[in-house]
A = this chain, B = another copy of it.
Amino acid sequence: MSRAFALGGFSAGYAALQGLGLTSTAFAKDFAPPPRDLGQGRSVLVLGAGVAGLVTAYELERAGFSVTVVEARERVGGRNWTIRGGDTVETLDRPTQTAGFSKGLYFNAGPARLPSHHQGVLSYAKALDVPLEVEVNSSRSSLLQSDKAFGGKPIQQRQAVNDLRGGLSELLAKATRGGALDQDLTADDRQALLSFLKTYGDLDAGGAYKGSERSGYLTYPGAADQKGVARPPLPLRDLLADEALPYALFEDNILMQATMLEPTGGMDAIPKALAKALKTPPILGAEVTALRQTDKAAEVAVRDRRTGAARKLTADYLVVTLPLPILVKIASDLPAQVKTAIAGARYDNASKVAFDAPRFWEDQQIYGGLSFVGGETTLVWYPSAGFNQPRGLLVGAYTVMGAARAFQARSFDEQIALSRAAVDKLHPGHGKDLAAPLVIDWNRQAFNLGPWIHWEADGNDPAAYALLNRPQGRVFLSGAHLSQLPSWQEGGVAAARRTVGLIADRVRADRLAAPH
């Protein structure tokens, strides 16, 4: 008996399948804020006004702590950065850019989508009245393109998804009818399977896949006798040979599944709302140069980036959400082992290229979603709102890992040219329509030096992750890099909430030892 088919048998094993219940942990709220007076008389310094730092400060203030957030940039948000026309983008070793986007357009240079199960970050959007709209992450009209398949011509994702399903269903039906699974399936199972495959793959009466209108039309259904004519199917062999095909599975990555959301008007609405909700506004333009702790307090040395003036800040506790490539450069009295762990962290690479463009993709029935091109630029990302407006913000490249390393080695001009060429492959003749290019290289942003870290890759040491997650006296390292979701805002929220809990525990322990 096939394990997948029966998996212990429904009646016998069902009770153990906790995954079904809507009362399961799937919907539990896993953060219990500390009591409102817990922090009375206690102070906390938070380094970094990204999502993790802001959530830490917000929750600690709500628990009665006196909190000061220190941020090197002139804005809050960290990697959550929405760029609009007129904004300046400085990049290490690369020319400074000024965004030339039309009025009303915006570019989410960092995070740009919120999965529906990221209930931590979504809870702040809700509590702080940040309007949300749908982010179109999957579109059946958007494209897959590979130089090595289909003569380099793009195919619609509806073709990839449905012709693939049809071809695989035909093969499984044939094998089942031929007796290949007789040892695995009962006669009833086989009957149920064959019956379902016919629907699943849109197979004909003989069990063959000969194409489906699910994959789109050659002729659209119209008036009178204008019947819809389905496209001929793409051959399974050619689909499987297409290196872009795995991108057709992108929509079922748990982090990418519909419904995805975005704040209306730009992702930075979230950190802005968090910052606005703080009793003590973050100190901006203040670069941390050193940190240390005594028996009595934590101390931070900061430099005002406008005036150059030095300043010392102290508090009972210190939360450090700075990226590790930044933290490694700051003088500290952290234990040697911790410093080694910080110094050894190897971040991923990530870049995006944005353009202001007329909405030519909407003439191809693409309303939001992503097309995948492979190669260094990887994908093209269409705007999820403002349909039928004259222009839109097109992300012409979003590249990570090895592809991004190769991409970032090029000049901005080369990167823009590559992005333009990729768009032109998807939308022939439209590469020239792309205006106001802007490149974001996260590895060359002075206060990031990298987008995120993969602890189980790139030669990183999971033991270092465990160590950095442990409190060091009065100092608590935090941030998305110390979560299981280092490339998501939800990771920052999770880390921040854990840190708030650790500080609450510490305060309780301190009070037991020596009442404040």
Residues of A within 8 A of B (CB): 2-10, 13-14, 16-22, 24-27, 30, 116-117, 119, 125-126, 129, 131-134, 136, 138-141, 150-151, 153-155, 158-159, 161-162, 164-172, 174-176, 178-181, 184-185, 189, 192-193, 196-197, 199-200, 208-209, 213-228, 231-238, 240-241, 245-246, 249, 252-254, 257-259, 261, 363-369, 384-385, 387-388, 427-428, 466, 469, 482-485, 491, 494-495, 497-499
B225 touches A4 (CB 8 A): no
Distance, CA A197 to CA B27, complexed state (A): 31
Residues in B with CB closer than 8 Å to A365 are 27, 116-117, 119
Residues in B with CB closer than 8 Å to A24 are 218
A215 touches B19 (CB 8 A): yes
Distance, CA A99 to CA B131, complexed state (A): 27
Residues in B with CB closer than 8 Å to A499 are 223
A238 touches B10 (CB 8 A): yes
B134 touches A25 (CB 8 A): no
A133 touches B133 (CB 8 A): yes
B364 touches A217 (CB 8 A): no
B192 touches A484 (CB 8 A): no
A258 touches B258 (CB 8 A): yes
Residues in B with CB closer than 8 Å to A494 are 221-223, 226
The distance from the CB of A281 to the nearest CB of chain B, in whole angstroms, is 25
Q: A223-B484, A226-B494 are in contact. List 17 more A-B contacts (CB 8 A).
A: A4-B236, A6-B236, A10-B238, A14-B151, A19-B232, A125-B388, A134-B136, A140-B259, A141-B257, A158-B252, A171-B181, A180-B180, A192-B241, A196-B240, A199-B246, A214-B257, A258-B258
Q: Contacts A117-B220, A220-B117, A494-B223 hold; do A166 and B258 have CB atoms under 8 A apart? A: no
Residues in B with CB closer than 8 Å to A498 are 222-224
B252 touches A161 (CB 8 A): yes
Q: Contacts A159-B19, A200-B249, A259-B136 hold; do A224 and B26 have CB atoms under 8 A apart? A: no
The distance from the CB of A195 to the nearest CB of chain B, in whole angstroms, is 8
The distance from the CB of A399 to the nearest CB of chain B, in whole angstroms, is 21
What number of copies of this chain does the assembly contain?
2
Residues in B with CB closer than 8 Å to A252 are 140, 158, 161-162, 165, 214
Residues in B with CB closer than 8 Å to A232 are 7, 16-19
Residues in B with CB closer than 8 Å to A218 are 18-19, 24-26
A237 touches B5 (CB 8 A): yes
A168, A192, A491 — most chain B CB neighbours (10 Å): A168
The distance from the CB of A276 to the nearest CB of chain B, in whole angstroms, is 17
Q: Contacts A5-B237, A154-B22, A193-B240 hold; do A126 and B388 have CB atoms under 8 A apart? A: yes
B134 touches A133 (CB 8 A): yes
Q: Contacts A162-B252, A259-B368 hold; do A196 and B14 have CB atoms under 8 A apart? A: no
The distance from the CB of A146 to the nearest CB of chain B, in whole angstroms, is 13
Q: Contacts A134-B384, A249-B199, A385-B133 hold; do A254 and B217 have CB atoms under 8 A apart? A: yes
Looking across the interface, which residue of chain B has its beta carbon closest to that of A257? B140
Of the candidates B9, B20, B388, the one whose C-beta lies within 8 Å of that of A155 is: B20
A10 touches B125 (CB 8 A): no
Distance, CA A91 to CA B186, complexed state (A): 52
A184 touches B171 (CB 8 A): yes
Q: Contacts A136-B258, A171-B184, A193-B240 hold; do A3 and B208 have CB atoms under 8 A apart? A: yes
Of the candidates B178, B193, B259, the one whose C-beta lies within 8 Å of that of A369 is: B259
A483 touches B245 (CB 8 A): no
Distance, CA A218 to CA B25, complexed state (A): 6
Distance, CA A220 to CA B181, complexed state (A): 36
Looking across the interface, which residue of chain B has its beta carbon closest to that of A52? B223
B4 touches A226 (CB 8 A): no
B133 touches A116 (CB 8 A): no
A257 touches B158 (CB 8 A): yes
* Residue contacts A-B, CB under 8 angstroms, 30 given: A2-B170, A4-B208, A6-B235, A6-B236, A13-B235, A14-B151, A19-B159, A19-B234, A20-B155, A30-B222, A131-B387, A132-B387, A132-B388, A133-B133, A134-B136, A136-B258, A138-B258, A139-B259, A141-B259, A165-B252, A171-B172, A172-B172, A174-B181, A175-B180, A216-B254, A221-B491, A222-B485, A223-B497, A225-B466, A258-B369
A116 touches B134 (CB 8 A): no
B233 touches A7 (CB 8 A): yes
